[in-house]
Amino acid sequence: MSAATATVTESAAPVAASGEGRIGPRGHLRHIGALARRNLLQIKADPESMFDALVMPVIFILLFTYVFGGVVAGKGNQAEYVNYLVPGLMAMMGMNVSMAVGMGINEDFKKGVMDRFRTLPIARSSVLVAKIVVETGRTLVACTILLGMGFLLGLSIKTSVLELLAAVGLALLFGASLMWIFILLGLTMRNAQAVQGVAMLVLMPLQFGSSIFTPPTSMPGWLEAFTKYNPLSNLADAARHLINGGPLGHSVWMTLAWAVGITVVTAPLAVKRFRDKT
């Protein structure tokens, strides 16, 4: 028995001993903590699983700054484009990390990890929430590296540190809501490759049909209209206004509405699907 699984077992033991059929809030938090520790131990045992969070922000900001920067801001004005790009990439980081959640859930079932959890008196939702907590931490790491690279390339904060933190928090919140979608995909698809394939079909149009990389005004009319309803555009614009200054109302509220709406719809479906499988 692994140390992480043993921790979960010990955490669930008082519930089993008392014969309680219902787990209270404290029990939920205890189980989430134990399961989150198990997920962190997995990362420690497999450091390569942090590759996307550590390396992809560096690749993305360098690639898009020097590929699109000269076109959007003019040759030699890449530093100006960085202030446009970085807030958009914050939205992109959450989506890319979220895809890994669904693949991880799918692989856990294939490896039989969930068979052990099935025998424990823990809330099924605790397993999923713990996964989201740890993956949100990975998103925070990715955003931190992205901002660090941004500062090196000329990013300047034209508002305040508090508003910068608010932009990061908004990106984490929206990314956490997207994780429920990918968890549901991971519980539905037969293998991790299928999860990745479906995810990419969703990710590519949303990422490139948005205001992440270029202003929508340069796009054809039909695509510009699509970007207005694209949740990634709302998040990118909200983060951009929080960092560079500008009107916050519409983009922030739309991002919050998308995050709440996605969670309310997909979280119960994911938990139900998880219960059916376990």
Q: Quick check: is 73 in a domain?
A: yes
Q: Quick check: is 18 in a domain?
A: no
- Rounded Cα–Cα distance for residues 231 and 205 (Å): 12
Looking at residue 118, what is its pLDDT?
Answer: 67
pLDDT > 50? residue 46: yes
Which residues are within 8 A (CB) of 241 and not within 5 positions of it... i.e. 6 or more apart? 247, 248, 251, 252
* Residue 202 tokens, joined: 């969703």
- Rounded Cα–Cα distance for residues 26 and 15 (Å): 11
Q: Quick check: is 213 in a domain?
A: yes
Burial class from Cβ neighbours inside 10 Å (0-12, 13-18, 19+) for residue 79 reads middle
Q: Quick check: is 17 in a domain?
A: no
- Rounded Cα–Cα distance for residues 197 and 1 (Å): 33
Task: Give the single-character DSSP code of 12.
Answer: H
* Residue 24 tokens, joined: 């209270």
Q: How confident is the model at residue 103 (pLDDT cuts 50, 70, 90)?
A: confident
Residue 235: which domain range? 3-12+23-277
Mean pLDDT for the chain overall = 83
Amino acid at 98: S
Q: Quick check: is 145 in a domain?
A: yes
Number of domains in the chain: 1
First CA to last CA across the chain, in angstroms? 20
Q: Quick check: is 48 in a domain?
A: yes
User: What would the pLDDT profile of 219-234 be if each residue is shown by its tens digit?
Assistant: 888 888 888 889 999 9
